[in-house]
Structure 1
Amino acid sequence: MTADDGLLMRGAFFGLLAAAGAFLFVDLRELQLANEALPGHDPMTTDAPVLPPALTDGDPQGPPVEPGTPQEVLRQPMRFELLSGGVLKAEGSIDLGAADRFAEEIAARGEYVKAVSLNSPGGSVEDALAMSKLIREKGLNTEVATKALCASSCPLVFAGGVAREAEKDAILGVHQVFNAGQDRPSPEQAMSGAQSTTARIARHLDEMGIGNGLWINALETPPDRLYYLTPEEMAEYKLVTAPVAAAQQTD
């Protein structure tokens, strides 16, 4: 295969991914901003399931392991705690404005922060992308600890790490991003926004060195389900930079 053939195949892939996203993908940030004026709407929280069942053809199945953090904690807006060893723990939903608070934390901590430990059910795609880009810009590592959760848009943040580690029994999952509000955009607006968002995500994952298969699984999975990634898939899609499967055999 020539270099030109490779470029053509890559272009065709992104074109197909963007077209699929027009029907499957909704930017949570843009829709939440439109819904902020609704009576009783709180843009900082969501009623979305924190840990949906796995995608199956028959009866829904649970996650591979139960998370070690209560759901009410994960539903709260993302907060940050500096741990020993230069690890900044980021826990909670990626609410609107989480990226700004994250940038402030990084700026305040200077070069002491070496890694970001994630425990989040996801949330705003726009904030997740911004956090991911800042992580890579600062040369930080990312990790998901044992029984911690990194789902929905959280793997976008995880992808920003220079080195990326998922410990044994870490829970990583992807699905279509959805709108938890009451209003819906017009079909034309939804298609335009979906194509733009999907293209940005595909481009970002490519720039981070993540394999194409990761977000294809997300696009194929309804928002009330999660596609739970196996250790083998994390390695195959280059989502982790260390062999998770090997790490899980050291019991």
Structure 2
Amino acid sequence: MSAAQDHDANATKRALRWLLTGQIALALGLIIIDIGPAVPRFLSPSSQPELDLRTSPGDQTRRYRTRDPSNPGPGIDPDMPSRLRAEEVEIDGTTALQLRGAIAPGDASRIVDELRSTAPATLLLDSPGGSVSDALEIGRAVREIGAETRLLDNTVCLSACPYIFVGGVKRSIAENARIGVHQHAFGESTILPAFLAVEDIQRGQAEVLMHLDTMGIDLRIMGPAMATPADEIYILTSDELVTWNVTSD
């Protein structure tokens, strides 16, 4: 190889090296921009009381661990299924369908088929939350079949679960049951370029707002939902449940 050819080869290698370095730096920059705002929450998790501590008006925010949707903290049944399960149960002398467990991605297709095939008059819920898109799809199916939704004593409907609950044509909650809302993450990936992440969140929030409005829910509920970080949960009071039309009884 001549000196000129050797010089050209070295120049090409240097250009490729700089190009690769630039691409890595750009990728790291986009990741930092995307996850940067969440770093303080990661380094300093919520200091709110745990879920097993009772709430009262003005003291309604509790810690919510997001790593395991089926077990977001004390006060949740440790045997809560990791995926939503449908089971027929007897209540008040009639057969109802109970949905219990975390809402895992992909659950909607199976649960919607179950709802349409059994068409229960009453749907009982006990779920700490999970996939927003699946909850929205299930909630629409609940309204489609005309079922009522209920929370029995000591059950929960947190995070994405309220989007199923509001699908009921009639909605009621026992005194010791809890409904809670907070901010959601939308999309399959948690690491996206900033502009794509914002677009994904906006699209998801628009779908949630449309769902709530279609179901006749007062959109003031989105105030505490959007103000409460994902690692915390805001438990709605009985007055808020009635005023914002979350319950119908």
TM range (shorter): 0.5 to 0.7
Deviation at 1:179, TM superposition (A): 7.3
**Using a 3 Å threshold, how does the CA distance of structure 1 residues 86 and 57 change in structure 2: closer, same or farther?**
closer
Task: Identify which of 121, 127, 136 aligns with 2:128.
Answer: 121
| Distance in structure 2 (CA, Å) of the matches to 1:117 and 1:169 | 15
| Distance in structure 2 (CA, Å) of the matches to 1:98 and 1:123 | 10
- Contact residue 123 and residue 154 of structure 1 kept, 8 A: yes
The corresponding residue for 2:165 is 158
| 5+ residue gaps, structure 1 | 1-22, 24-49, 243-251
Does 1:83 pair with 2:92? no
- Contact residue 210 and residue 237 of structure 1 kept, 8 A: yes
Deviation at 1:180, TM superposition (A): 11
The answer to which structure, 1 or 2, has the higher relative contact order (CA under 8 A, 6+ apart) is 1
Task: Identify which of 102, 111, 115 aligns with 1:93.
Answer: 102
Structure 1 runs (4+) greater than 6 angstroms displaced: 179-182
Deviation at 1:212, TM superposition (A): 1.1
Does 1:102 pair with 2:111? yes
- Contact residue 151 and residue 173 of structure 2 kept, 8 A: yes
- Contact residue 115 and residue 142 of structure 2 kept, 8 A: no
Task: Identify which of 185, 194, 197 aligns with 1:190.
Answer: 197
Task: Give the letter aligned to residue 152 of structure 1.
Answer: S
TM-score, normalised to structure 2's length?
0.67
Cα deviation per residue 1:135-183 (whole Å; 9 max; x = unaligned)? 0011111111111010001001101000000111111100111379984
| Distance in structure 2 (CA, Å) of the matches to 1:214 and 1:205 | 9
Deviation at 1:96, TM superposition (A): 1.1
Cα RMSD (Å): 3.1
Cα deviation per residue 1:48-101 (whole Å; 9 max; x = unaligned)? xx94987x999x7579xx85x523x22511111101223110000000121111
TM-score, normalised to structure 1's length?
0.67
Matches within 5 A, 1:168-179: 168-178=175-185
Deviation at 1:213, TM superposition (A): 1.4
- Contact residue 172 and residue 229 of structure 1 kept, 8 A: yes
The corresponding residue for 1:218 is 225
**Bigger CA radius of gyration:** 2
The more displaced of 77-86 and 133-142 is 77-86
Task: Give the letter aligned to residue 94 of structure 1.
Answer: I
